[in-house]
Amino acid sequence: MSLDRHRIAARVARDIPRGSHVNLGIGQPTLVADHLPPDSGVVLHTENGMLNMGPAATGGDVDPDLTNAGKAPVTELPGASYFHQADSFAMVRGGHLDVCVLGAFQVSVSGDLANWHTGAPGAIPAVGGAMDLAAGARRVFVMMTLFAEDGTPKLVPACTYPLTGLACVTRLYTDLATFDLGPRGAVVRETHGPTVAELSGRLSLPLAGGPARH
């Protein structure tokens, strides 16, 4: 069966090595935090300037001076630290983050990422830290639905939306399958419902691999 966004997030969480320093992009990737085991030792980085960020703040814990990159109120865990933007992006750009998880409009089979701009006339783009994360994190994971609402594939031979980064995404988690991306193209790691042949047909893409089927 295809996965909903919570189950995609759980699938991503399973692949994050213990003790990693991780940045979760705004939107759906923030759900990954809910699926990290309490003893994972994973330290969450939020690019507005904090390590060891805790869960969302509620009620009396809400503090306007303590937010995540999506500007939602959050909490701090023991061992948290605060730092300014140049230090925060030294962590991102200097290769200190083990993993970042981002959303995407499109991802190419070679790992190009498009997630900041639709390129539509009149659209106001917003990039935030996405280009820094794409270029700087040691591993870049993307989670998204495999098809847009109108049925258009979001895993493509080459992105048509403006790029965020080139050949940066190594792993793609979707509702229908998980892929490794790179110079060899898209390799199916596992599927959630369809066969590799069915996916290949719907995506109009050659797909290598295809071991586990769930």
Partner 1 sequence: MAVICDTAAEAVRGVEDGSTVLVGGFGLAGMPVALVDALIEQGAADLTVVSNNAGNGDTGLAALLAAGRVRKVVCSFPRQADSWVFEGLHRAGKIELELVPQGNLAERMRAAGAGIGAFYCPTGAGTLLAEGKETREIDGRTHVLEYPIRGDVALIGAHRADRMGNLVYRKTARNFGPVMATAAATTIVQVAEVVDPGTLDPESVVTPGIFVDRVVAA
Interface mask toward partner 1 for 42-81; x: CB under 8 A:
----xxxxx------------xxxxx---x----x-----
Smallest distance from partner 1 to CB 65, Å:
4
13: left (phi over 0), alpha (psi -120 to 50) or beta: alpha
Selected binder of partner 1 within 83, 153, 170, 205 (CB under 8 A): 83
Strand order in the sheet with 106-108: 113-114, 106-108, 155-156
Smallest distance from partner 1 to CB 52, Å:
12
92 near partner 1, rule: CB under 8 A: yes
Sorted by sequence, the CB contacts under 8 Å of residue 72 that are 6+ apart come out as 56
47 is catalytic: yes
Containing H/E element for 86? helix 85-93
Query: Which two tokens mark 36?
Result: 């990290």
150 near partner 1, rule: CB under 8 A: no
Which residues 151-210 are close enough to bind partner 1 by CB under 8 A? 162-166
Q: Which residues bind partner 1 (CB under 8 A)?
A: 46-50, 63-67, 71, 76, 82-86, 88-89, 92-93, 117, 122, 124-132, 135-136, 162-166
